[in-house]
Amino acid sequence: MQSDGGLAGPVLAARVASRNNDYAAAAEYLERALGRDPANIVLIESALMANIGLGDIDTATRHAESLAEAGLPTQAAGLVLLARDFAASDYEAALAALDAGGRGGPLVDGLARAWAELGRGRMSDALAAFDAVIDAEGMAVFGQFNKALALAAVGDVEGAEHILSGEAAGPLPLDRRGVIARLQLLSQIDEHENAVLMLDAAFGTDPDPELARLRADLKAGAVLPFDLVTSAGDGLAEMLYMLAEGLRGEAGDEYTLVFARLAHHLRPDHVPAILLSGRILNRMGQHELAAEAFEIVPPEDPQFHVAEIGRADALFASGDADAAIDAMQELAETHGQLATIHVTLGDFLRRESRFAEAARAYDTALDLLGPPEPQHWVVYYTRAIANEREGNWPEAEADFRKALELNPDEPHVLNYLGYSLVERRENLKEALDMIERAVEGEPDNGYITDSLGWAFYRLGRFEEAVPVMERAVELRPQDAVINDHLGDVYWAVGRTREARFQWRRALSFGPADDLDMDRLRRKLEVGLDQVLIEEGAEPHLTGTHGN
């Protein structure tokens, strides 16, 4: 039997790491494995993807070149090599690869061809390539937008605006960067007033720092440089970023990340691509890599606060709540005029049960937000939670009701306020109505269904509580509190053995917030009636609690 030279260990470790999206570990183990089996195509392809995920495009390029030499270029390898050629301004090589068959699909290959033609100075060929994409089924919007960027990049402002305005072929859906591109173009044709109106319509009159600066420049009549795309490489980067945004939620995160990472590689100052990479990585559970991505954005960038919020989210998700809170407190010192920073700080503090501090952060946010608007309901709601948990019920109730005034049918507000009123034995008819409305809004939410069952229980309507609470357990079978509640409901209708079964399940799933584990153990020991007697309350089944 031949030895594999120690290959199995690194391969298995790399497989586990890849399955967990742990790009750093996967890349390390795959390099070890390739040291023992350098021609293994499967290992090379896996190493390519791991290094793209890691953001090490130079190493990924080496693996892509190996795949190409072996005659097995994958789609990811083709994209990496395309980015390599554009980064080197080797548009002839890029076109040769596209002529040989490309690997990015019709949209990517078609737009890459157009940008490569622009890169080698053949604008007429570039426009023909853009038009070919526009004429293809389902690709017109991408083709029109990229064509507009190309025209603007070579100084044809009127031609670009003709497309972006919708006059050429109908309205184009523009994201934030598309709107900013058009604002820059409008400033260059002395359409400043229209540009300000467009900015306000798209983003409101209280924009973030980047947009506020842009608005001030437009109001002052400044001519803004068109900087979204200044070269063919920028064009390819923008196209890859657009595809990453378009694929988000439609394709797998690993696939979407390829486009975002390559967009950033081609254009290191492409902050939206950096932010998107960080968000994807955070969603994948790669919090350390996400934090590293967000940290790339420099403090002087107008989107720095967005990156810092993302980095803090990644730190909090990784379990380092103190570092996340510190980051937000520092950001509040430098960007304290932005309500979203104080909201995020409040959210972190609340999740760490630092309710008084959280409430103060929400106070600041609401002061900055000004007169209440419908979208502010969530800040009133989260401040209400902080005050309720801190024991400030009058303030909490006022905020819950304000949130409902702003968003009357919001299930989570209806549920939280209704449940709280039930627990306080206040306005029980109103509370039950609120919870029933919440269940109508989210019938498959186990927590809200639990609230309805518990409301019936508190109202003494035990038989009605049973099917509702059973449904809640079906929806959230491993929730300790809901299983405990079902046990109490069973006990109240005389199903004491089933009650004890549910309490044991609750005990096995605990501990949990809002669950008194000592009380739960006491119920298992002596039954709910005896516990209620010890607490000075009326028992349900006097004389049967020992069954």
Average pLDDT over residues 10-31: 90
CA distance 253 to 224: 35
CA distance 472 to 456: 13
CA distance 507 to 499: 12
Average pLDDT over residues 422-426: 90
Q: Where are the domains of the chain?
A: 413-463, 477-547
- Nearest one of 333, 334, 313, 337 to 323, comparing CA atoms: 313
CA distance 399 to 417: 10
Side chain identity at residue 338, one-letter code = L
Q: What pLDDT, in 10s, does the model give residues 303-350?
A: 999 999 999 999 999 999 999 999 999 999 999 999 999 999 999 999
How confident is residue 413, by pLDDT bands cut at 50, 70 and 90?
very high
CA distance 310 to 386: 23
86's CB contacts (< 8 A; 6+ apart) are: 94, 115, 116, 119, 232, 233, 236, 266
How confident is residue 543, by pLDDT bands cut at 50, 70 and 90?
very low
* pLDDT for the residue 371: 93
Report the interhelical angle of 75-87 vs 105-119 (nearest 10°).
10
* pLDDT for the residue 418: 96
User: In this structure, what are the phi and psi dihedrals at residue 398, rounded to the nearest 5 degrees?
Assistant: -60, -40
* pLDDT for the residue 514: 82
* pLDDT for the residue 310: 98
CA distance 359 to 372: 17
* pLDDT for the residue 5: 52
- Does residue 2 register a pLDDT over 80? no
Q: What pLDDT, in 10s, does the model give residues 256-308?
A: 999 999 999 999 999 999 999 999 999 999 999 999 999 999 999 999 999 99
* pLDDT for the residue 397: 98
* pLDDT for the residue 438: 97
Residue 511 preceded by cis peptide, ω within 30 = yes
* pLDDT for the residue 242: 93
CA distance 148 to 159: 7
Highest mean pLDDT (candidates 206-215, 245-254, 430-439): 430-439
* pLDDT for the residue 542: 47
Asked if 139 and 106 count as a contact pair (C-beta separation under 8 A), the reply is yes
CA distance 39 to 350: 53
Q: Write out the two tokens for 379.
A: 């800040």
Average pLDDT over residues 389-406: 97
* pLDDT for the residue 545: 42
Mean pLDDT of the chain: 93
How confident is residue 14, by pLDDT bands cut at 50, 70 and 90?
confident
DSSP one-letter string for 1-25? ----TT-HHHHHHHHHHHHTT-HHH
167's CB contacts (< 8 A; 6+ apart) are: none
Q: Coil, helix or strand for 251?
A: strand
How confident is residue 18, by pLDDT bands cut at 50, 70 and 90?
confident
- Does residue 546 register a pLDDT over 60? no
Q: Coil, helix or strand for 248?
A: strand
- Chain-centroid distance of CA 405 in Å reads 28
Q: What pLDDT, in 10s, does the model give residues 477-529?
A: 999 999 999 999 999 999 999 999 999 999 999 888 889 999 999 999 999 99
Q: Within 13 A of 512's CA, how many CA atoms are on the CB side?
A: 16
CA distance 42 to 23: 16
Q: Determine if residue 286 is left, alpha or beta; phi over 0 gives left, psi from -120 to 50 gives alpha, anything else beta.
A: beta
* pLDDT for the residue 87: 97
In sequence order, the β-bridge partners of residue 251 are 248
- Nearest one of 318, 293, 317 to 303, comparing CA atoms: 293
Average pLDDT over residues 31-49: 93
| Helix ranges restricted to H, 371-461 | 377-390, 393-406, 411-424, 428-441, 446-458
How confident is residue 145, by pLDDT bands cut at 50, 70 and 90?
very high
Top-confidence residue, 104 or 233 = 233
